[in-house]
Chain A
Amino acid sequence: NAGVTQTPKFRILKIGQSMTLQCAQDMNHNYMYWYRQDPGMGLKLIYYSVGAGITDKGEVPNGYNVSRSTTEDFPLRLELAAPSQTSVYFCASNLGESGNTIYFGEGSWLTVV
């Protein structure tokens, strides 16, 4: 029972590099989310998706892109990485109805140097 799977768990990037954080869920959830967590802070929503082919910006989308070509996968792309993107990234999913639990992945620790 995998739930929400994120890869990689840890990554160090140089300024200006690009990378993709992968997220997959096997629960047939419609809604998927990407959050970032900065030290001592709560989680801020980067992007979300309500179904395959549909994505929208959250609170802090600048510097990121997403796609949702399948129900299962929701990759997050960082273009031209900056030190301000050093953070822990969490992917989450939800069936898509009020009251359904939101399930989180284990997190991806990203450092930009």
Chain B
Amino acid sequence: GEDVEQSLFLSVREGDSSVINCTYTDSSSTYLYWYKQEPGAGLQLLTYIFSNMDMKQDQRLTVLLNKKDKHLSLRIADTQTGDSAIYFCAESIWRGSTLGRLYFGRGTQLTVWP
């Protein structure tokens, strides 16, 4: 099956930038997503990037995609305590029988210290 790998933990100080990294294995991924999950809540779509793009910026969020290395990163500028959550990387594949399935990493627990 498809593998999406993320580091499990990241701690940063409030005001610093956070960078969460992700690697994936399927080169036919069409879209790559970042979801945020707060305790006891569902998944909130933060941003996504199409596989033919290198970068996407959305306010404090910057997504970088290195398709050659199959590496995706999410940078959060000026990280706030409200950004503390689990961040999931996911790849979406639309070919054959996979029909738009999302394959998720295990999630990175981001802790922001005041």
Binding site for B on A (CB under 8 A): 31, 33, 40-45, 48, 50, 56, 58-59, 90, 92, 94, 96, 98-107
B105 touches A42 (CB 8 A): yes
Q: Using CB atoms, name the residue of chain A closest to B89.
A: A42
Given contacts A96-B100, A99-B30, 10 further A-B contacts (CB under 8 A): A33-B101, A42-B88, A43-B102, A44-B104, A58-B101, A92-B102, A98-B92, A101-B48, A102-B92, A104-B43
Interface size class of B (residues with CB under 8 A): 20 to 34
Binding site for A on B (CB under 8 A): 1, 4, 8, 30-31, 33, 35, 41-43, 45, 48, 50, 88, 90, 92, 94, 97, 99-102, 104-107
Q: How far in angstroms is the closest Cβ of chain B from A95?
A: 9
Q: Can you show 11 pairs from A to B with CB atoms below 8 A apart?
A: A42-B88, A42-B107, A43-B102, A43-B104, A44-B104, A56-B97, A59-B1, A94-B100, A99-B30, A100-B100, A106-B42
Contact of B106 (CB < 8 Å), options: A40, A92, A104 = A40
